[in-house]
Amino acid sequence: MDEEYDVIVLGTGLTECILSGIMSVNGKKVLHMDRNPYYGGESSSITPLEELYKRFQILEGPPESMGRGRDWNVDLIPKFLMANGQLVKMLLYTEVTRYLDFKVVEGSFVYKGGKIYKVPSTETEALASNLMGMFEKRRFRKFLVFVANFDENDPKTFEGVDPQNTSMRDVYRKFDLGQDVIDFTGHALALYRTDDYLDQPCLETINRIKLYSESLARYGKSPYLYPLYGLGELPQGFARLSAIYGGTYMLNKPVDDIIMENGKVVGVKSEGEVARCKQLICDPSYIPDRVQKAGQVIRIICILSHPIKNTNDANSCQIIIPQNQVNRKSDIYVCMISYAHNVAAQGKYIAIASTTVETAEPEKEVEPALELLEPIDQKFVAISDLYEPIDDGSESQVFCSCSYDATTHFETTCNDIKDIYKRMAGSAFDFENMKRKQNDVFGEADQ
Amino acid sequence: MALRELKVCLLGDTGVGKSSIVWRFVEDSFDPNINPTIGASFMTKTVQYQNELHKFLIWDTAGQERFRALAPMYYRGSAAAIIVYDITKEETFSTLKNWVRELRQHGPPSIVVAIAGNKCDLTDVREVMERDAKDYADSIHAIFVETSAKNAININELFIEISRRIPSTDANPASGGKGFKLRRQPSEPKRSCC
């Protein structure tokens, strides 16, 4: 330390590591610090299992039936990657894919009337599905063809719909879709957590349905990917990118103070030393007085010794419980992964139930999800505040990320990254900015 | 001839010559002005060992070892680790034990460990006795060589010895899942309804 940097980054969450990588690749001198001894912050995968018990203050520690502690890598936030989503694009442009291996999530299910139904991944499955009646299926198919053909730059594809003005409710009405189909479309395909989108212009919803179907087409089975060894591999991969382009990494580094002069950040003090910088990126935990609370999320990590019932023994899956099935405002999600992903000991499964908190009794709110998972060997309950920055950084040059929300994908996280980039760099984010500028693999040509 | 891909990770203090050893092995070159490790992700070289081809994928630290910030992914799946110290700097041999401990904590259980005492061309300013280092390496069942990346001493021998010690394929039943690498999509994904 006691040096000058262009950018100092505090916290090694996924958002911070991606931004660190982008800044380093673009020639900025970056110092990246975390008070924890591990990468990932709130988006880490906790290992060994003993650490998870400690973190959740379960004093007796894991029983022997849990196997070797080091075989566990338990995600703190339950998310998957959309196969055609922005995070996959970021991985490909930066070639951070080089350090990671993925599996396709084996299925997506939706809860209806107390039971779960597979979200069809093929035409055959769609025809056989009990999620909707036969005549509804034909109208739904017409709707999906419309969505697939829709091109916001080609009015000929609009069929009388105005992408900027027609509400999604009116689009559904145009195709004469019933309430069951509307619920399925909005929550299991467009992945909205509430029904607020119905009265918004339809373009966003159409694009989200497109993203789902394009992601599904990529690998089949489901639109989701998951990295072996857990989501914590993602921040590690982007941190490695930053380091290769000169970023300096320090873990176990407490931050004593962020030094401001005339309302602008000039440096960071740690263990008595000061590193100076022009700009600062951090997660909300480093600047509690400059963020505001924006809700809460509950996440219950459950360890199971069995696949979830009625999932055809899937070793990974998502379950969506649409909000109106359980008289709530927001959907409840379950993300399940297992030993097949090198995140649990042999024969063990990790299912995480999560939702936006709406009442003073959040654990009661997720009970419909927990009932699907029984018997549960062990539960870890986390209720987390969501934070967002108070200021946009234009004067302070402090750029704070938003907390990870209750969605089960990373699209909102990537939007946050693009927005921070734009405010820092003064120009719109372009995936081309993420490309490696020079060769950094040597030896034989193929890689 | 069967091809085996073997990930090798490098460990050791900043400045001991980790990258130079690999450059000598992969490109047979030496740059005395090499910067602290920047710009190298990994390096690959395929060599024949008995009836097999061994393709070494050698990961460099990207400088993250400087402040003890190597990530678990760096160690993951490694068949071997080369821990390097500088024979002219006693402190780099002292911290070697820390690197061994780190490796035991994060690396695969059956990883092959090699200890390389680099800069053996500088015997006139030696601070670490070869015997002491060899005794330590033997005590932890590690390969031991003194090397000079500059003068190309014992570099190939180091990797030959790693090949010799790598368990044969049959001895390593695939534990845990195997995934796939993401590839760029050829444009225009096929349309599909769900």
Beta strand pairing call for A273-282 and A264-270 = antiparallel
Distances in whole angstroms, Cα of residue A284 to Cα of each of A292, A327, A399: 9, 32, 10
CB count in 10 Å sphere of residue A343: 28
Could you tell me if B89 lies within 8 Å of chain A, comparing CB atoms?
no
Q: Please give, rounded to a whole number of angstroms, the shortest distance from the CA of B108 to a CA of chain A.
A: 10
Residue A32's nearest CA partner among A305, A246, A285 is A246
Q: Is a pLDDT exceeding 80 seen at residue B171?
A: no
Q: Evaluate the omega torsion of the peptide bond into residue A48 and state whether it is cis, within 30 degrees of 0.
A: yes
A128: confidence class by pLDDT, cuts 50, 70, 90: confident
The predicted structure's pLDDT at residue B38: 58
Chain A / chain B CB contacts < 8 angstroms: 142
Q: Which of B69, B76, B181 sits opposite A249 (nearest CB)?
A: B69
* Binding site listing of B for GTP: 12-20, 60-64, 118-121, 148-150
Q: How much is the pLDDT for A447?
A: 43
The minimal CB distance from A444 to the residues B38, B46, B189 is found for B46
What pLDDT score does B186 carry? 64
Query: pLDDT tens for residues A101-119?
Result: 999 999 999 999 999 999 9
Query: Quick one: which of B25, B16, B14, B12 has its CA closest to B154?
Result: B25
Q: Kindly state the helix (H) or strand (E) to which residue A301 belongs, with its residue range.
A: strand A291-304
Q: Which CATH architecture has domain A4-42+232-292+388-442?
A: 3-Layer(bba) Sandwich (3.50)
* Minimum-distance CB partner of B38 among A123, A148, A246: A246
A 98-117 near B (Cβ less than 8 A): 98-103
Q: Taking the CA atoms of chain A, what radius of gyration do you get in angstroms?
A: 23
The second-level CATH assignment, the architecture, of A120-219 is: Orthogonal Bundle (1.10)
Contacts of B75 (CB under 8 A, 6+ apart): B9, B81, B103, B106, B107, B108
Distance between first and last Cα of chain A: 36
A251 in B contact zone (CB under 8 Å):
yes
Q: What is the mean pLDDT of residues A3-15?
A: 97
At A1 the pLDDT is: 62
The whole-number pLDDT of residue A2 equals 66
Q: Which CATH number among 3.20.20.140, 3.90.1150.10, 3.10.129.10, 3.30.519.10 corresponds to the domain A54-106+295-386?
A: 3.30.519.10
| Beta carbons within 10 angstroms of residue A313's beta carbon | 10
Beta-bridge mates of residue A275: A268
Instruction: Give the residue range(s) of CATH 3.50.50.60 domains in chain A.
Output: 4-42+232-292+388-442
Residue A437: which residues within 8 A CB-CB, separation 6 or more? A25, A27, A245
Q: Report pLDDT for A133.
A: 85
| Contact yes or no for B68 and A251 at CB 8 A | yes
CA dist B188 and A55 (Å) reads 46
- To the nearest whole percent, how much of chain B has pLDDT over 90? 64
Taking an 8 Å cut-off on Cβ atoms, the answer to whether B73 and A240 are in contact is yes
- A47-56, A394-403, A420-429, B61-70, range with the lowest pLDDT: B61-70
Per the CB < 8 A criterion, the answer to whether A21 and A44 are in contact is: no
Tens digit of each residue's pLDDT (9 = 90 or more) over B70-101 = 999 999 999 999 999 999 999 999 999 999 99
Quick: pLDDT tens for A215-235: 999 998 999 999 999 999 999
d(CA A342, CA A227): 9
Residue type, A376: I
Higher-confidence position of B170 and B73: B73
Compute the distance between CA of residue A24 and CA of residue A6 in angstroms, rounded to an integer.
10
| Start-end of CATH 1.10.405.10 domains in chain A | 120-219
Do the Cβ atoms of A92 and B46 come within 8 Å? no
pLDDT range class, residue B194, cuts 50, 70, 90: very low
pLDDT in tens, A327-381: 999 999 999 999 999 999 999 999 999 999 999 999 999 999 999 999 999 999 9
Task: Kindly list the residues from chain A whose CB atom is less than 8 angstroms away from the CB atom of residue B42.
Answer: 441-442, 447
H and E: helices and strands count for chain A? 12, 20
Average pLDDT value for residue range A181-200: 96
CATH architecture of B1-163: 3-Layer(aba) Sandwich (3.40)
Q: A112 CA to chain B: closest CA distance, Å?
A: 18
Instruction: Give me Rg for the CA atoms of chain B.
Output: 18
Tokens of A270: 């740690």
Interface touch B181/A229, C-beta < 8 Å: no
Residues of B in contact with A151 (CB under 8 A): none
Q: Test A240 with B74 for CB contact under 8 angstroms.
A: yes
Give the pLDDT of residue B170. Answer: 55
Distance (Å) from the C-alpha of residue B132 to the closest C-alpha of chain A? Answer: 32
In this prediction, residue A265 has a pLDDT band, given cuts at 50, 70 and 90, of very high
The rounded percent of chain A whose pLDDT value lies above 90 is: 91
Mutation pick from A81, A106, A442 vs chain B, by most beta carbons of B within 10 Å, is: A442
Nearest CA in chain B to A25: B39
Q: What backbone phi and psi angles, to 5 degrees, belong to B164?
A: -65, -35
Residue A351 and residue A65: Cα distance in Å, rounded? 17
Give the Cβ contact number of residue A274 at 10 Å.
16
pLDDT at A146 over 50: yes
Q: CB-based contact (8 Å) between A213 and chain B?
A: yes
User: Would you call A389 helix, strand, or coil by DSSP?
Assistant: strand
Say whether A102 and B179 touch across the interface (CB within 8 A): yes
CA atoms of A168 and A401, how far apart (whole Å): 30
